[in-house]
Amino acid sequence: MPNYTVKVPPKVVPPASRAKTQPIPAPIERQRFRRRLLSWYRRHGRDLPWRRTRNPYHILVSEIMLQQTQVERVLPKYEEWLSKYPSFESLAATTPRQATRSWYPLGYNIRPKRLHAIAREVVQQYDGQLPSDEDSLRAFKGLGEYTVGAVQSFAFDKRTPIVDTNILRLLFRVFVGHGDPKRHAIKRHVWVLSRALLPRRHVFDFNQALMDFGSLVCVSRKPRCPICPMRPDCRAFSSGKLRQTAMP
């Protein structure tokens, strides 16, 4: 019998799969971004009570309260909550119902219930001390990638990246500038960027500065481009995709 050789046609890669990998900024560009950001933060950073503590419980309370809630609404409730429940032990000793009542009027009432459950687990399994490693923190229900990174960075002084809505917007505009920031691939790239930009020192201030800058300057609507120190290197600005209108 004749020996037939079957030729397999080359695999056709769909256009969506051919997307180029986003580049990481050069070291000099990263250094320039850090310098500008920290310089801005030293002059304009907000004085917030959770920035004056390294208490893991206090940091965790602030991060959970700040989920989908503006800073101005959180400030009075943060102080009130800590005066009533100053520790994991005191929160664990109450009931989920009472904790939810004490949370009013912040809303999203799944948050106090989860915080209460975490407090009980910390007391029962960790002798009242919040663990600092990523695996243990991620095991707590309700703690996602951002919150775990924030707790590690702000409470335990770990060199950990964070990306919230404000940071995603800031880093996307400055270092990407095109495409859809809601796409999973771009979001993951921004996490890579956040890690690459981390300084060797002053990580606490750097991560806090990212959040403040995204909240106060690189805002969603009417970004304050005319006063932005990142403007010379901002890809979104140079492409003309940002409305160059200063907020009052």
Q: Which of 29, 63, 72, 134 is catalytic?
A: 63
**Residue 63 a catalytic site member:** yes
Q: Do 225 and 242 form a contact (C-beta atoms < 8 A)?
A: yes
Contacts of 50 (CB under 8 A, 6+ apart): 58, 59, 61, 62, 78, 154
- What is the 8-class DSSP label of residue 144? -
Cβ within 8 Å of residue 28, ≥6 positions away: none
Determine contact, residues 77/110, Cβ cutoff 8 Å.
no
CA distances from 194 to 33, 146, 190 (A): 12, 11, 6
Catalytic residues: 63
